[in-house]
Amino acid sequence: MNKVRALLFVVLLAFAASVNVFAGAFSDYYDYMNDDGTYSYYFTQGLKVTLNEEWYQNTFVSAEDYGAVFYHKDSYDRYAEEGFKAGRLFTIGASVNTSFEQLPSFVYIGFDEETAMNYYAELPTDYQAYPKDPAVKAEYDALWATVRDVIAGIEILSDTKNDSVSGGNTLADSGNDMVPGENTLQDSGNDMVPDKNPMPLLGGWEAAADPTVSDDLKMILSEATRYQTDAVFEPVALLATQIVSGTNYCVLCKMVPVLPDAKPAYVNVYLYVDLSGNASILEIQDINIGLN
């Protein structure tokens, strides 16, 4: 028992020092028309993206596991006809403790102390316009010319945000204006009405008061790791949870490789469970603690 407690203590220290996992998907959002003729997307992850008429009419948002992707409609459609997925303009995402400022294709949006999140935008590193149609290509190029202006206008919706931005960009202060105007255009399939049902409060990681792994969490882990055919994951303890657009879990697991003579080891498995109950692995973190 003392050995297990010591292991949990070491793992909790490792968790606190080295968490680096993407927050849940940007799957829940609403878009609204503003009084000035612009349009704003409100993401429950805590970001507001405002577009002018040209951008709004010629783009669409696709929610992915790693963030929300803004695509040029016509380029995306033309590529899709040929069996490809392209036409991307930028992606927004969040990370617990990584700002990605060292990567040239990333633009740092800011840090929110309330949610303990770093927000970022990622630009494609290759040319995403559909080149075979000059009109479609020109439309993409016109949007691309102002993509950094759009990113610079992204707002963190929190009272405690730190909106320092790499490259000298300054984000507008939105205060705490999660409740937008009354002109609802569309939503992402969630029936929440902002002026009647406030969006869920997002937070940082919270250490588990009870490390016991429930039967429900065991089933979630089993579902999420079903394609990990090279090892079996045996849950040991629930370390922490995080409320995002859904819930993130950090579970200490004993990873038993299926290969002959392979030694088992302890790992932190980060799980994301969306609002519909679908589970996926965010990261499997080696904590460098082997079994004798």
Q: How far is CA 254 from CA 67, 122, 195, 258, 268, in A?
A: 29, 34, 46, 13, 9
Between 215 and 169, the more confident residue is 215
Give domain status of residue 5, yes or no.
no
Q: How many CB atoms lie within 10 A of CB 126?
A: 6
Give domain status of residue 56, yes or no.
yes
Residues 277 and 156 in one domain: no
Residues 101 and 225 in one domain: no
Residues 169 and 55 in one domain: yes
Give domain status of residue 107, yes or no.
yes
Of 159, 187, 215, the residue at which a domain comes to its end is 187
Residues 165 and 279 in one domain: no
Give domain status of residue 273, yes or no.
yes
d(CA 25, CA 86): 20
Residues 152 and 253 in one domain: no
In CATH, what number is assigned to the domain containing residue 284?
3.10.450
Q: How many CB atoms lie within 10 A of CB 232?
A: 15
Work out how many domains the chain is built from and give that number.
2
Domain membership of residue 111 as a residue range:
29-187
Return left, alpha or beta for 149; rule: phi > 0 is left, psi -120 to 50 is alpha, else beta. Answer: alpha
Q: Say which range, 66-80, 152-166, 232-246, has the weakest mean pLDDT.
A: 152-166
Of 187, 215, 242, the residue at which a domain comes to its end is 187
Residues 155 and 223 in one domain: no
Residues 135 and 222 in one domain: no
Residue 276, pLDDT above cutoff 90: no
Quick one: average pLDDT of 103-108?
79
Residue 269, pLDDT above cutoff 50: yes
pLDDT of residue 151: 95
Residues 119 and 182 in one domain: yes
d(CA 65, CA 45): 13
d(CA 156, CA 161): 7
Q: Within 13 Å of residue 189, how many CA atoms lie on the same side as its CB? A: 7
Residues 213 and 145 in one domain: no
Between 131 and 183, the more confident residue is 131
